[in-house]
Amino acid sequence: MKQIKGISYNINEDIVGRITFKKNMFHRTNEIWVNKNATSPKSEYAATISENESITDNGKPYCIVSSIDVFNEGDVVVVNKQGEIIFVYEVKSIHNAIMATERCNHRCIMCPQPPILQEKDRTPFNLKLISLFDKNTQEIGITGGEPTLIGDNLFVLINHIKKELPKAAISILSNGVKFADKEYAMKLAKCRHHDLQIDIPLFSDIAEEHNRIVGAKTFYKTVQGLYNLALFHQRIGIRIVVHKQTYKRLPQFADYIYHNFPFVVQVAFIQMETVGLAKENLEQLWIDPFDYRTELREAVLLLADRGLKPYIYNAQLCVLPEDVRCYAKQSISDWKDIYISECEGCALRNQCAGLFESSKEIHSSHIKRIEHISSDISCVN
Ligand code: SF4
């Protein structure tokens, strides 16, 4: 999440609120007033944010920042005692998500955000967050950790989104294990959300390989989960993170998906983000994406030729074979998306996902600007 640092005053507990630049009549206790030259913090608001270091301290919560230009009307932030301002929702972003829990029942070797063992129930906080989001929000993710570890509260979140954000599509990222329980899968279907997709990672067509990568013996539970979700007509996507331990069997994996899960609406091949455990285990995991382009191309085309929908996430277009560039998606969240000096003047820059901020040092050595677009990169199917 995007985060900036300011200096907090009179803030002892985290304050969550919707950013406003206006002087509103109602709902001000849920709002954080932002004003460049505020002369004093406004008591009607949850807090005040200003650039004015000479603001009169009247005992009300406020935070001084170097620039208010980073805020937009409708963003939702948490301001803490340390002066950190964390953007939990950005009104202009299409990558907003609720973190259902930071706990997980898997220990994936490339996990970008290693799970924690214990935490207090985040559901009340998440319900409040959802109520603060813009009513016109088009898409909201539910992630973790593993979101199903909050049990039936997952359905409480979904129903709350349905009520508060009626236009929002929901995208859930889950390891699918819990859906091996048919009743739990049925409860998801019973939410009857008009636009919900559940994306489930699977890392191999071989059970032992998958289990080794996720650090748990759950391959068959995930497979059962996929079938149960399909039984209740849920929209399902499959994801695979491509690294040194998964790239070799990509074509066989694609074939396995085609034969066993023809009901999935998409299959995403994801370039690994080198943070968290992926960074710690880099030696075992890193392979230059250029060096797996043959296997990736074969897998993508195999699925596309058979009528499934493949996507490639987090990839740099110049590193991909030309005939699969059309399957690449702008998938990197805005706040961690960068381009490096090699990208300057690249003809594909507007269509390219770029790189993760964290990939500044670790990235393909084949990134090279493309001078001319030789052909249209839209897909045929
Ligand atoms: S040079 Fe940069 S912008 Fe161009 S395709 Fe490669 S990564 Fe993308």
Among 318, 340, 359, 377, the mutation site with the greatest number of ligand 1 atoms within 8 A of its Cβ is 318
Residues 128 and 208 in one domain: yes
Residues 27 and 170 in one domain: no
Question: pLDDT digit string (tens) for 120-164?
Answer: 999 999 999 999 999 999 999 999 999 999 999 999 999 999 999
Residues of the domain holding 36: 3-89
Instruction: Give a yes or no: residue 57 inside a domain.
Output: yes
**pLDDT top residue among 159 and 335:** 159
Question: pLDDT digit string (tens) for 207-227?
Answer: 999 999 999 999 999 999 999
Residues with CB under 6 A from ligand 1: 316-318, 339, 342-343, 346, 348-349, 352, 367-370
What pLDDT is recorded for position 372? 82
Q: What is the CATH number of the domain that holds 259?
A: 3.20.20.70
**Local structure of 178: helix, strand or coil:** helix
pLDDT at residue 184 is higher than 90: yes
Residues 257 and 316 in one domain: yes
pLDDT at residue 53 is higher than 70: yes
Residues 29 and 150 in one domain: no
Residues 39 and 168 in one domain: no
Question: pLDDT digit string (tens) for 111-127?
Answer: 988 889 889 999 999 99
Instruction: Give a yes or no: residue 365 inside a domain.
Output: no
Mind giving me the DSSP string for 36-62?
Answer: TT-SS--TTSSEEEES-TT----SS-E
Among 290, 324, 344, 352, the mutation site with the greatest number of ligand 1 atoms within 8 A of its Cβ is 352
Q: Which amino acid is at 143?
A: T
Cα torsion for 203, 204, 206, 209, to the nearest 10°?
-50
Number of domains in the chain: 2
The residue whose CA has the least distance to atom 3 of ligand 1 is 349
Q: Which two tokens stand for residue 301?
A: 């085309």
Residue percentage of the chain with pLDDT more than 70: 96
CB proximity list for 242: less than 8 A, separation 6 or greater: 250, 269, 270, 271, 272, 289, 292, 296
| pTM exceeds 0.95 for this model | no
